[in-house]
Amino acid sequence: MTYSNPHLRMRWQDLAPCLLDDDFHEIIERLRVIYPELVLFARAFHFPDHREPRYATMPARFYKDFLSFVADPWVAEGVRPFGLALRVPWPEDFSSGDPERLIGGRKRHAYEDDVAGYRRYGRTMYLGGSVGRQIVSANRQVIAEIAGIDVSLVPEIRYFSGVRSRSSVEFLYDADDVDCQDFIRNVRLCMRGLTTSVEATYDVLTGEPLYAFPSRPTSLRWLQRIALEDNLYTGPSGYAGRRVEFMGPHPKLVKKCRLEAGLPCLPKTDPQSIKTLKRPELMARIRADGSRRLPSSIGPD
């Protein structure tokens, strides 16, 4: 998305994936191979909470890696980091050893900084919002009432409570800066193989996949775990008539993971027969089925 800055072609882009802590950690460690001098610090040094004056004067704190940040993110007692910043210092910044130069400065002004200001911050990205891992149980009585069956016939359906949350992988940069463009390409390369952009909808009573659909880039680690556990889904989808639908990994991924683990492939449907519906097709399918949103009572008992 392009925003207005009178001095340059400003870009503020968010890849908006759905990642786990381990995915963020791996992305950073892959980047460290390319940029061994990279530094990690609190996003708040660049974008502070204006109600907290200490951001302007407290010493910069550097994190060893992403998991260290997760374990202890606070900049100081009671001072929030507001996410993690990753910066690759320019050679002269790195050789100086000055913490202020390593972070590129404080309190960015996205809509006011000129070309020199953007160059000073340089190769920087902001990370945050890993997916929660809390698994909850769906309300079997609600499913039974929709399906018109006895509750004893409903399996124990589980899903992740944070299914609608997403992560952030953000870049704020001068679109004409070639070095920053190279950095962003390298970040994308380091994310390759860690996500998939296709999920599927399942009938939870039969476990059979109904159709696949495009999704935001989602952690393969997360979906692989779901594939290996019976009746575990990413989250509720809706219902059409007496059919209750939840979302999960594409059946091709489910089959691959379960075969590799020596587990039976539960759905009978051939994964190759599941069509991935583009958005117009998906909306037409939803309208044709008369699909409706599941009630909030589908949540934990």
Residue 286 has what pLDDT?
Answer: 87
pLDDT tens by residue, 186-234: 999 999 999 999 999 999 999 999 999 999 999 999 999 999 999 999 9
Going by their DSSP bridges, the two strands 232-233 and 158-160 should be labelled as parallel
The answer on pLDDT for 1 being more than 60 is no
pTM over 0.85: yes
Place of tokens 């463009």: 181
Bridge partners of 249, per DSSP, are 199
pLDDT digits (tens, 9 = 90+) for 136-195: 999 999 999 999 999 999 999 999 887 667 899 999 999 999 999 999 999 999 999 999
- As beta bridge partners, residue 39 has 87
Structure tokens at 55: 């951001």
* pLDDT interval class at 3 (50, 70, 90): low
Burial class (CB within 10 angstroms; exposed 0-12, middle 13-18, buried 19+) of 24: buried
Q: Count Cα atoms within 13 angstroms, Cβ side, for 179.
A: 13
With beta carbons less than 8 A apart as the criterion, state whether 174 and 9 touch. Answer: yes
Single out the residue of 77, 100, 70 nearest to residue 87, CA to CA.
100
Q: Per-domain residue ranges for the chain?
A: 10-131+166-191, 135-163+194-298
* Inter-CA distances, 211 with 242, 275, 281, 292, Å: 17, 6, 11, 16
Q: Which pLDDT does position 131 carry in this prediction? A: 73
